Amino acid sequence: MVGAFALLPGFDNPLLWILGVPLGSAGFLAVLRNWRVAAWVNVAASGVTFASSLVLIHVRPEPTRLLFIDDFNVYLVVLTAFVGLTTSVFSAAYIARESEAQRLSDLHLRFYHSMYQAFSFTMLLALCANNTGVMWVAVEAATLTTVLMVSLYRTREAIEAAWKYFILCSVGIGLALFGTTLVYLAAQPVMGDGADAMAWTLMIKRAHDFQPDLLNLAFVFVLVGYGTKVGLAPLHAWLPDAHAEGPTPISAVLSGLLLNVALYALLRFKMVIAANGNTLTPGPLLVVMGLSSLFLSAFMLYRRGDIKRLFAYSSIEHMGVITFAFGMGGAVANFAGLLHMTMHSLTKSAIFFAVGIISQNLGTKRIAAIRGLTSSHPVLGWGFVLAVLAIAGLPPMGVFMSEFLVLGSTFARQPLLAIPLAVGLLLAFGALVARLQSMAFGEPPPHAHAHGHAGPLSTALALTPLWVHMLLVLVAGLYLPRELVAWFQNVARILG
């Protein structure tokens, strides 16, 4: 793959492909009239983006004032591109069935595929940005593209969810902009005017000379602003509605990818704050918000009647655990946070793959109407069981390993904090297992096959990403390659 880039003069920088392919594809898909062809162009573009991201493992472009790659963001770029690819494969089958059921018009289908690639571009740009302003613009653009996709069905509930998402996240991103401006003002006397005072690679080297009072104030605004995008309590109100009303493939990338991107932005600012010895310690704030998110979502899981809302609250729970881990800091906790980000992305997107097929087969998202999946749809049902048990933290899945590391490191350093963490995880585990029992087992409803007329090829296409993700999560729970462990350890040191 590296050699292929070398054969194209002027195109040997993989970042050009990683950002150029989704951006160019978004424009092409916007004018492509045949939505069936568009679905496969979407898959092909996502495949090229993923292949290009793998090149970054061996080829690191020289940083510029706008773009850079280091060990931290390269792993998230690869993860984002991979989940983007598998979700595009699932999306091809899912959207075809939505069209057959006449729930989406041809115009909406064309718009969907274009926005999917635009969304991929904005996330990858935010991850690769070496400029705080460019990162902010990319995250805001990601919000706008997903708002449009959340409202795709044009129902009253979908439009309401899209507006709620837009208003709350726009307020949050506005606060993040103010925090970003304050960081620039703190850096300007040391770094000078212009792009140098906004470049991560340069700021981290001189952060110890920045004005600490401005950095303290900036981090509060950044935490609230980007914390809204992460879905941390009490800033989470947009997330359940957006997940519930948008197309299920968008729920998968929202939960599995966009939340990671927002947390990545927050962690970059945390690194700058931590590099200045005279600022506040950001860890306790992250720990408090992480625990509050965990407990709120754990209790709300018991009250959900909509299957997509159920797993939206599960996303809030896991982002709380990840935020808690990074708030604790240190080699083991940071390692666990990185691993949990990866496992949550793979597992939660797999769950939404299953949920999308379930809702299409049964014609409902109501949990009370979903029963006996392992009997009515065995391959789908058992895949759903495996994915839910994985996200609940049952061994030997990778989520168990990362949660065990978070708990173990907390017990070793702050035993009193480990107690509420363990209680919150047990509460969430109980809620998910209780819900799973009613949906997966028992007598299927009479209409269990009424809406499920997909052919074997379409069904296999939709289920393949689910099982690929579950295989990766299982392998990660049993064995992590030494190279990956060393990589995560290095990033954990960078995070401090």
Q: Fill in the amino acid letter for 484.
A: L
pLDDT at residue 431 in the model: 93
Q: What angle do CA 248, 253, 256 make, to 5 degrees?
A: 115
| Residue from 454, 330, 274 nearest 380 by CA | 454
CB neighbours of residue 485 within 10 Å: 12
pLDDT tens across 210-227, in order?
999 999 999 999 999 999
The SS3 assignment for 306 reads strand
Instruction: Please state the rounded mean pLDDT for residues 475-494.
Output: 91
Which two structure tokens, joined as six digits, stand for 248? 């299920």
Q: Does residue 375 or residue 46 have the better pLDDT?
A: 46
Asked whether the beta carbons of 327 and 283 are under 8 A apart, the reply is yes
Instruction: Please state the rounded mean pLDDT for residues 374-391.
Output: 92
The packing angle between helices 132-150 and 106-128, to 10°, is 160
pLDDT at residue 443 in the model: 79
pLDDT tens across 224-238, in order?
999 999 999 888 889
CA 75 vs. chain centroid, Å, equals: 13
Q: Indicate the Cα dihedral angle 146, 323, 484, 493, nearest 10°.
A: 130
Is residue 456 reached through a cis peptide bond, with omega within 30 degrees of 0 on the bond before it? no
Q: The whole model's pTM is what?
A: 0.93
Residue count (the chain)? 496
Q: Is the pLDDT of residue 3 over 80?
A: no
pLDDT tens across 114-153, in order?
999 999 999 999 999 999 999 999 999 999 999 988 888 8
34 within domain boundaries: no
Q: Look at phi and psi of residue 105 and say left if phi exceeds 0, alpha if psi is from -120 to 50, else beta.
A: beta
Q: Percent of the chain scored above 90 by pLDDT?
A: 63
Query: Which residues 6+ apart lie within 8 Å of 360 measured at CB?
Result: 94, 97, 98, 101, 451, 452, 454
185 within domain boundaries: no
Instruction: Please state the rounded mean pLDDT for residues 41-53.
Output: 95
Residue listed under structure tokens 């020289």: 62
| Residue from 23, 51, 39, 86 nearest 466 by CA | 86
b (16+ CB within 10 A) / e for 130-150: bbbebbbbbbbbbbbbbbbbb
pLDDT tens across 82-123, in order?
999 999 999 988 888 877 766 777 777 778 889 999 999 999
pLDDT at residue 442 in the model: 75
What is the distance between the alpha carbons of residues 97 and 109, in angstroms, rounded to a whole number? 11
402 within domain boundaries: yes
290 within domain boundaries: yes
Q: Percent of the chain scored above 70 by pLDDT?
A: 95
Number of domains into which the chain is organized? 1
What is the distance between the alpha carbons of residues 109 and 34, in angstroms, rounded to a whole number? 9
Q: Where are the alpha helices (DSSP H) in 71-155?
A: 71-100, 106-128, 132-150
Q: Is the pLDDT of residue 323 over 60?
A: yes
pLDDT at residue 102 in the model: 64
20 within domain boundaries: no
Q: Does residue 107 or residue 205 have the better pLDDT?
A: 205
Q: Fill in the amino acid letter for 120.
A: S
What is the distance between the alpha carbons of residues 59 and 53, in angstroms, rounded to a whole number? 10
Which two structure tokens, joined as six digits, stand for 280? 């506040």
Instruction: Please state the rounded mean pLDDT for residues 460-484.
Output: 92
Q: Is the pLDDT of residue 7 over 60?
A: no
pLDDT tens across 392-440, in order?
999 999 999 999 999 999 999 999 999 999 999 999 999 999 999 989 8
Q: Kind and range of the H or E element at 129? A: none
Instruction: Please state the rounded mean pLDDT for residues 182-196.
Output: 91
| DSSP tally for the chain: helices H, then strands E | 21, 0
478 within domain boundaries: yes
The 3-state secondary structure of 1-23 reads CHHHHHCCCCCCCHHHHHHHHHH
pLDDT tens across 262-278, in order?
999 999 999 999 888 88
139 within domain boundaries: no
- Domain boundaries, position 409: 281-496
Q: Look at phi and psi of residue 44 and say left if phi exceeds 0, alpha if psi is from -120 to 50, else beta.
A: alpha
446 within domain boundaries: yes
Which two structure tokens, joined as six digits, stand for 109? 């289908």
pLDDT at residue 10 in the model: 47
